[in-house]
């Protein structure tokens, strides 16, 4: 593998792409450390130290920002507004015929959907930045911390902070698109990868610094490596449905007669169901933070729903992951559309008639594949967290298996792209 990396850097155009990608990631990480104007950096660090053991309702955004949210930096929102906007646009395809028509138009329609996603990202960034600044100013972002995070909470300062954070989100979106166009891999995914990976050393050092730190660190590394192995195996697994194309004569030449397959991954939804479920379950946490602590309803929600260690919370988490796995798979993979395209180009599944029987067969296979995929997601999302809680570790890897799934998925995708470019130049690549 080291030799493959050396060959990649010896290839001039591939070296330029790799260095460009690394440079953009460095810029992104530097921006994550720059404090937003109006924020007291020393007070923020003090509050982070005081509230280190407490779970915040904004953990998902903090995960994708690489800890920049709690720092209230220029890139505090991270890539989360873009992710949310992309998911909303994909969901709207299923309910708004115009969006689905744009999707079927090809490149021009996709460009319009991308433009809609950008506009929605800016709108979400304005709302999220205003919400986070309000939470920080009220003291709910760091419970138990008494020092002011925003010393000057005038209207002008607040508006400036909202503008800076929103601009930071648009810059992140631009940097991600630059990586996709001129670098290696998917830009947005790589930025998420760098954000999550940046939190790993601090999480592991906190484990090592606790009681019996060496023993807990060894167990944590074993758990993480085991989860890595399982995730790599499952993410690479797929069901291949054979497809045969009929032979046809065009003039004196014969076309078709080729055999191919439709690859169906066990986990087609990737980590999206976990993100959906975690986002919905963060709403009760927000309600508890802003509600009256003496209200019986708030106390009940805090005890049974908003507590990540409770049975009810984890049960709802699992149910939501399974539901959203089926929901997102149904949106992204349309058996009727695939069957119509196969019929149009003379393709058929051996033993299955073209048209409606093919669509029914694909739907049957997708349903059977999605069940183990959704259970796998729920298990991976819960097991690392439960293992760390069993060891008495509170500063675990953020959201346990969620971050590991993202890191492994993005890493595999990037390595495959580099390998394909090496193979184009008659190199062996990473996999031999």
The residue assigned the tokens 């119509």 is: 340
Q: How many domains does the chain have?
A: 1
- Read off φ and ψ for residue 249, nearest 5 degrees: -100, 130
Mean pLDDT of 338-348: 82
Alpha-carbon distance of 311 to 112, in angstroms, equals 44
3-state DSSP assignment of residue 414:
helix
Q: Are 172 and 191 in contact (CB under 8 A)?
A: yes
Alpha-carbon distance of 97 to 411, in angstroms, equals 35
- CA-nearest of 68, 6, 3 to 41 is 68
310 vs 67: which has the higher pLDDT:
310
pLDDT in the model for residue 167: 92
Q: Which two tokens stand for residue 286?
A: 């927000």
The verdict on residue 307 lying in a domain is no
Question: pLDDT-derived band of residue 290, with 50, 70 and 90 as boundaries?
Answer: low
Cα torsion 315, 320, 325, 326: sign: positive
The verdict on residue 372 lying in a domain is no
Q: Are 67 and 106 in contact (CB under 8 A)?
A: no
Mean pLDDT of 137-154: 77
Question: pLDDT-derived band of residue 289, with 50, 70 and 90 as boundaries?
Answer: low
Angstrom distances, CA of residue 170 to CA of 31, 69, 78, 184: 13, 16, 10, 21
89-98, 168-177, 291-300, 407-416, range with greatest mean pLDDT: 168-177
Alpha-carbon distance of 269 to 370, in angstroms, equals 9
333 vs 211: which has the higher pLDDT:
333
DSSP annotation of 56 reads P
Q: Are 73 and 36 in contact (CB under 8 A)?
A: yes
Give the contacts of 393 (CB within 8 A, at least 6 positions apart): 207, 210, 216, 220
CB count in 10 Å sphere of residue 218: 12
The verdict on residue 397 lying in a domain is no
- CA-nearest of 85, 88, 74, 67 to 169 is 74
The answer to whether residue 408 scores a pLDDT higher than 70 is: yes
Helix (H) or strand (E) holding 85: helix 80-95
pLDDT in the model for residue 232: 83
The residue assigned the tokens 């394909």 is: 420
Q: Are 245 and 346 in contact (CB under 8 A)?
A: yes
Angstrom distances, CA of residue 204 to CA of 236, 343, 394: 27, 53, 11
Alpha-carbon distance of 177 to 122, in angstroms, equals 15
The answer to whether residue 432 scores a pLDDT higher than 60 is: no
Range of the domain at 15: 1-210+414-432
Q: Phi/psi zone of residue 78: left (φ > 0), alpha (ψ -120 to 50 degrees), beta?
A: left
Q: Which two tokens stand for residue 374?
A: 């959704």
Q: Which two tokens stand for residue 233?
A: 């195996």
Mean pLDDT check: name the lowest of 235-249, 311-325, 376-390: 376-390
Q: What is the Cα Rg of the chain in Å?
A: 24
5-9, 37-41, 382-386, range with greatest mean pLDDT: 37-41
Q: What is the pLDDT of residues 220-268, one digit of tens each?
A: 778 778 888 888 888 888 888 888 877 665 666 666 567 788 888 888 8
Q: What angle do CA 271, 277, 282 make, to 5 degrees?
A: 125
Q: Are 129 and 77 in contact (CB under 8 A)?
A: yes
- Whichever domain contains 2, its CATH number is 1.10.3370.10
Mean pLDDT of 128-149: 78
Mean pLDDT check: name the lowest of 78-82, 180-184, 368-372, 388-392: 388-392
pLDDT in the model for residue 428: 58
Question: pLDDT-derived band of residue 142, with 50, 70 and 90 as boundaries?
Answer: confident
The residue assigned the tokens 């920080």 is: 136
3-state DSSP assignment of residue 122:
helix
pLDDT in the model for residue 254: 60
The verdict on residue 281 lying in a domain is no
Three-class HEC string of 231-284: HHHHHHCEEEEEEEECCEEECCEEECCCEEEEEEECCCCCCHHHHHHHHHHHHH
DSSP string covering 329-391, please?
A: HHHH--HHHHHHHHHHTTEE-TTS-TTHHHHHHHHHHHHHHHHHHHHHHHHHHHHHHHHHHHT
The verdict on residue 360 lying in a domain is no
Question: pLDDT-derived band of residue 59, with 50, 70 and 90 as boundaries?
Answer: low
Question: pLDDT-derived band of residue 42, with 50, 70 and 90 as boundaries?
Answer: confident
Question: pLDDT-derived band of residue 163, with 50, 70 and 90 as boundaries?
Answer: very high
The verdict on residue 130 lying in a domain is yes
Specify the length of the chain in residues.
432
Above pLDDT 90, what percent of the chain?
A: 3
3-state DSSP assignment of residue 50:
helix
pLDDT in the model for residue 281: 77
The verdict on residue 166 lying in a domain is yes
pLDDT in the model for residue 396: 45
Q: Which two tokens stand for residue 299?
A: 């106390």
Q: What is the pLDDT of residues 84-98, one digit of tens each?
A: 888 888 878 878 888
pLDDT in the model for residue 344: 81
The verdict on residue 240 lying in a domain is no
The answer to whether residue 430 scores a pLDDT higher than 60 is: no
Mean pLDDT of 8-23: 82
């Amino acid at each position: 593998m080291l030799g493959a990396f050396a060959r990649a850097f010896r290839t001039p155009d591939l070296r330029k792409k790799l260095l460009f990608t690394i440079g953009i990631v460095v810029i992104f990480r530097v921006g994550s450390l720059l404090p937003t104007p109006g924020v007291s950096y020393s007070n923020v660090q003090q509050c982070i130290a005081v509230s280190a053991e407490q779970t915040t309702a904004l953990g998902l955004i903090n995960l994708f920002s690489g800890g920049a949210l709690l720092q209230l930096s220029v890139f505090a929102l991270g890539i989360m507004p873009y992710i949310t906007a992309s998911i909303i646009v994909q969901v709207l395809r299923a309910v708004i015929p115009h969006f689905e028509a744009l999707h079927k138009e090809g490149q021009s329609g996709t460009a319009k959907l991308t433009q809609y996603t950008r506009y929605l990202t800016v709108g979400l960034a304005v709302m999220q930045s205003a919400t986070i600044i309000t939470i920080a100013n009220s003291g709910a972002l760091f419970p138990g911390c008494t020092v002011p995070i925003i010393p000057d909470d005038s209207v002008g300062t607040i508006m400036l902070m909202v503008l800076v954070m929103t601009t930071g989100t648009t810059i992140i979106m631009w940097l991600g698109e630059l990586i996709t166009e001129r670098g290696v891999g998917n830009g947005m995914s790589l930025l998420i990868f760098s954000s999550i990976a940046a939190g790993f050393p601090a999480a592991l050092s906190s484990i090592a610094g606790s009681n019996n730190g060496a023993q807990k660190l060894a167990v944590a590394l074993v758990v993480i490596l085991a989860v890595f192995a399982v995730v790599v195996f499952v993410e690479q697994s797929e069901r291949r449905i054979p497809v045969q194309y009929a032979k046809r004569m065009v003039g004196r030449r014969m076309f078709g007669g080729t055999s191919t397959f439709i690859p169906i991954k066990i986990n087609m939804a990737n980590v999206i169901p976990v993100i959906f479920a975690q986002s919905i379950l963060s709403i009760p946490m927000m309600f508890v933070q802003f509600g009256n602590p003496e209200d019986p309803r708030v106390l009940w929600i805090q005890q049974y729903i908003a507590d990540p260690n409770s049975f009810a919370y984890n049960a709802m988490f699992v149910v939501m992951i399974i539901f959203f796995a089926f929901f997102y798979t149904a949106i992204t993979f349309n058996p009727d559309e695939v069957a119509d395209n196969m019929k149009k180009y003379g393709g058929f599944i051996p033993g299955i008639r073209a048209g409606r029987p093919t669509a029914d067969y694909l739907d049957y296979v997708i349903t059977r594949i999605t069940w183990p995929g959704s259970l796998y997601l729920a298990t991976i999302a819960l097991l690392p967290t439960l293992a760390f809680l069993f060891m008495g570790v509170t500063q675990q890897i953020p959201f346990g298996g969620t971050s590991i799934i993202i890191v492994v998925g993005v890493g595999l995708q990037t390595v495959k792209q580099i390998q394909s470019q090496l193979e184009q130049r008659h190199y062996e690549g990473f996999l031999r």
